[in-house]
Amino acid sequence: MPSLGLGCSSSRVFLGHRQAERPRARPYANAIARKEDSPSTAQQQQEPQKQDPLQIKTSRRAQLLSTAGLLALQVPSHLDASQPPGASSAAQAAGAARQTAPKAENGQGIQALRDPQINRGIATSKQTRRAYHLDGLLPPTHGDLRIEIERAKAALELRSSELEKYQALMALRETNEAAFFGLVAQDITGLLPLIYTPTVGKACQNWSRLLPRPTGLYISIDDKGQIGRVLANWPEEDVRIAVVTDGERILGIGDLGANGMGISVGKSVVYGAAGVQPHQILPITVDVGCNADSVREDPLYIGLRQKRIRGGPYDSLLDELVASLRQRYGTSLLIHWEDLSAANSFRTLGRLQQQGIATFNDDIQSTGAATLASVLGATRLPSVPPLRQQRFLLFGAGQANIGAAQLLQHRLEQEGLSLQDARSRIWLFDRQGIVYDGRKGGSMTPEKAMFARSGSEAGWLEALGNDLRKAVQQLQPTALIGAAAVRGAFSHEVLAQLSQGMQNQRGMTGDVPIVLALSNPTDKAECTAEEAFQACNDRVAFGSGTAFQPFTAADGLEVVPSQANNSFIFPGLGFGCISCGATEITPDVLDAASTAVAASLTQEELQRRSILPDTKRLREVALRVAAAVALAAKTSMVASSENSTVSKILACLPRDSNDQAVLSQAMSCLEPLQYNPLA
């Protein structure tokens, strides 16, 4: 493996200047001094005194945990450890004796046990127990972290419903971070549906009733003008990715307001499971109100009880948030937008991109990249036409399919097609039917207009109406992609027509269609895997946004449906961007991520008719994607070396990015940075 000069090759090499310590210390850096606590001018002019690094790193977290503990006990901070008026002399003597006995400092003892990065249960080392005054607060036995993982697994098996399992997992994450991510790594296939889709959708719907310990930062419209002060309350100093939602369009569910925090937390957990350092991710929910009456009027609702603000005030709030984030965490901070409305998504993304801010919208770009990866993976199956021969009918013209259309167009151009030819292969179908110029029914967004068919075709397109089966019959697409959250939209008749149309086309080098039912959760999926295989006589390349169980097809072959959602894209995309200091997420960077995912398919997976890798390989694929992203960013001149670690990564990365050997070398450059909970 090429040497990075980082001083170690284990997972304890972090992105930044953090170093591994013994005992394991809570990796919080210096606290930001509040204005009211700042020293006088005379004091500022004095030579600063050196402080113990361990004390500096734990002081901020200690203050927060101390306050949290006192609030939980409903004891005002100013009354803590004080004697009530009129206390007896015996009580006063006992109090004096307690004051003379050695006691834990801030950030130690019970406070340390509340810290999920310090607490490892019985796997907490002797050195850490002594350093943090944990003797007696933990059982006297010492064991390996794997024992704690097995204990957590046994506890999880006692829970019956998916939501109860979700609660147990999130409680473990907030208690023992290493055991949580170790457990997830042990069974990523079984646990990903619990910590991510589809269960995270149920968690968001019930968030005001679950309300786990604060696992992210809430910013509201009431914080306008003081977001920097609110942001200073987050204890981590080394944040590299901020996952931000406003809760307006949670999955296929709709407006959940402040309950959308569950989706930011879910994305953050997947980042950690894929190998991004968990402390480097900040989940944020921006509360600007909620337009769903049932949510807003719930007596337990935790958010603002008002309708959403729009327009200038909304944009101004996000601008202040972005500026505050970049001021505290640096200009290379990557901002990941999640589940905003379509209008806010496209406008916010475009505005920030023009300002040169490193940002991406998961619903537009990650979903688009996941769709492209699914198509590229499908073309590796027997009898599926190559990309240049594909004709795409996209059911739904929102963020997901617009993002997919943009990346499909870009890739077709890379394959040698002209812009006009590339767009002619892509059809958008919304609630009114095929999108075309001059269509009745109101205005059209610029993003949708980009793929509108010519007005000269208006006559026969209008005749199709919004009948999807007729559209499939007339257009004869080779790929049907659904992202409209309409359960059953891909009916047996629609799918059978798609399959039949493939048999009738001439000049094709394959006759197997691609079907992607991307909507989630499960009750929003356009069709199930079994429905697609039955309608297409087992000749179909299928992927879905939510997980479906393996099944045996009519021909006797076991089919493992691929989950074609963003989990194979955004973790590696984020990891690669923060590793190389990417300042922009270009189409070439997204294309590289998609290509890396599709190239990760093994022959065994292809034999099971999978179009994407098995989810158990999430960490491996994320590393491959991260390496491809870093190479593409370097080649596209959007990588920057703002600190020594990134500079060394860029120096390690090879210059050429055209073959597997180069990608393997790039992976070896990034592998030391990947989080390992068992390290």
Active-site positions read 196, 267
Provide CB contacts within 8 A for 126, sequence distance 6+.
Answer: 142
CA distance 678 to 146: 8
238 is in an annotated binding site: no
Asked if 565 contacts 197 with a C-beta cutoff of 8 angstroms, the reply is: yes
| Residues β-bridged to residue 138 | 135
DSSP line for 192-242: HHHHSTTHHHHHHHTHHHH--S--SEEEEGGGTT-HHHHHTTS--S---EE
Label each residue of 564-587 as H, E or C.
CCHHHCHHHHHHHHHHHCCCCCCH
Sign of CA dihedral 196, 197, 202, 208: positive
CA distance 537 to 531: 10
520 is in an annotated binding site: yes
363 is in an annotated binding site: yes
3-class secondary-structure state, position 433 = strand
3-class secondary-structure state, position 436 = strand
Of 60, 67, 1, 61, nearest to 31 by C-alpha is 60
Which residue shows structure tokens 């589940």? 339
CA distance 120 to 143: 10
Sign of CA dihedral 331, 333, 336, 341: negative
Residue 316: exposed, middle, or buried by beta-carbon count in 10 A (0-12, 13-18, 19+)?
Answer: middle
CA distance 621 to 614: 9
566 is in an annotated binding site: no
174 is in an annotated binding site: no
CA distance 452 to 437: 6
Q: In what order do the strands lie in the sheet with 359-361?
A: 217-220, 281-287, 241-245, 334-338, 359-361
Q: Is the peptide bond before 23 cis (omega within 30 degrees of 0)?
A: yes
DSSP 283: E
Annotated binding-site residues for a divalent metal cation read 338-339, 363
Q: Which residues are annotated as a binding site for (S)-malate?
A: 249, 520, 565
Provide the annotated binding site. 249, 338-339, 363, 520, 565
